[in-house]
A = this chain, B = another copy of it.
Amino acid sequence: MPKQTDVAKLAGVSTATVSRVINARGVVTEEVRQRVQSAIDALQYVPHASARALALQRSGTLGAIIPTLNNAIFAEGINAFERAAQLRGYTFILAVSHEEREQHAEQVIRMIERGVDGLLLVGNDHEPVVFERLEKAAVRHVCTWAFDEGARAPNIGFDNANAMHEVVDHLVSLGHRDIGVLAGIAAHNDRARERVHGIVKRLNYHGIALPASRIVEVAYSLRDSRRAFWQLIDHDVSAIICGNDVIAQGALLEALKMGLSIPGDLSIIGFDDLELSAELYPALTTVHVNAQRMGERAAGALIDAVENKTHVLSQQLDTHLVVRGTTGLCKEIDANSPTIDLADRATV
């Protein structure tokens, strides 16, 4: 592989000049610039990023550590993050933790080794050592998919608990009182915990209890969700709130398969608003999350902080309920009995 010296020799200049041309810094005669450029083209010279990173003490890379790519919502966010990074000239390094806790701290260290300029993490639930290392190494980082006031690191995401308020309000206004939850696995996952917490809190606000037996934890997969659905159905619920759309899709598919009429017999609500959710029949009522924007914002915030030598700023994104075809009036409500008017209390 040709190196800068080769280009310099061929162009009859010093390596310093070649460097100036490549990085468009300092001033170089147009004539020299062209000579260098020709040499670069002729040799198909490609600069050596590691050498550059070593001299510059900046790698020009952004990293991300995510739980999995096998969930469309993460894939979408990462897709956008990568694109934004690329547009601003940064290379993207990805690590998938595959939900394995031990991997995580290890992966953060790998990212520090690689000298990433900025790092995206998912959620706020990370071991303290993770933040210590990151701070010590002065690697800017941002926790996404969550927005908590008390978080140790900057957050770019939404309030998972609050997002559930309108979900609960919606169901309650339709007369539902017996509500079940098909939640994501809570361990090491603050998003899943916060969502359940938000549901409990808001039901409580409406004077409705949520017995533990009506909360079932399930992995984010269609198959697991279909199986878990049965555990809940036994508990005589008229509506199910799901930890995300994959779970909701599983529940919907299973409900339809067992011959239930949706939303006649049962209401179902998801979270994420995946492309598919709008296309199913009936289309899924769910909470819309703009993962693409979150990815773009995270990349932008990280890069801004790096280039302006400032701190990463938190940003709260919003979510909103998209009412579609899987939620309807609770059939156990007598049509003549007064339905609760939420107008005076439902606003947050």
Contacts and interface: CB of A to CB of B under 8 A. Distances in A.
A136 B75 contact: no
Interface string A245-270: 00001100100110000000000000
A10 to B, nearest CB: 16
Contacts of A257: 281
DSSP majority for the A interface?
Answer: helix
Interface stretch (A110-118, A151-159, A166-174): A110-118
Interface in A28-68: 44, 46-51, 53-54, 59, 68
Nearest to A51: B54
A133 B275 contact: no
A30 B107 CA distance: 28
A342 interface: no
- Which of A96, A98, A250 has the largest number of chain B CB atoms within 10 A? A96
Contact of A137 (B1, B70, B133, B276): B1
Contact of A76 (B70, B250, B280): B70
A82 B95 contact: yes
Contacts of A114: 49-50, 91
Contact of A69 (B49, B69, B103, B253): B69
Nearest to A253: B279
Contacts of A98: 83
A46 B108 CA distance: 11
A109 interface: yes
B44 A48 contact: no
B222 A113 contact: no
A147 interface: no
A83 B96 contact: yes
A48 B83 contact: no
Contacts of A79: 68-70, 96
Contacts of A75: 69-70, 72, 75
A86 B111 CA distance: 12
Nearest to A82: B96
A94 interface: yes
Given A46-B137, A70-B72, A91-B110, A253 B281 contact: yes
Contacts of A133: 44, 46
Nearest to A281: B257
A114 B60 CA distance: 10
A92 interface: yes
A333 interface: no
Interface in A147-188: none
B92 A94 contact: yes
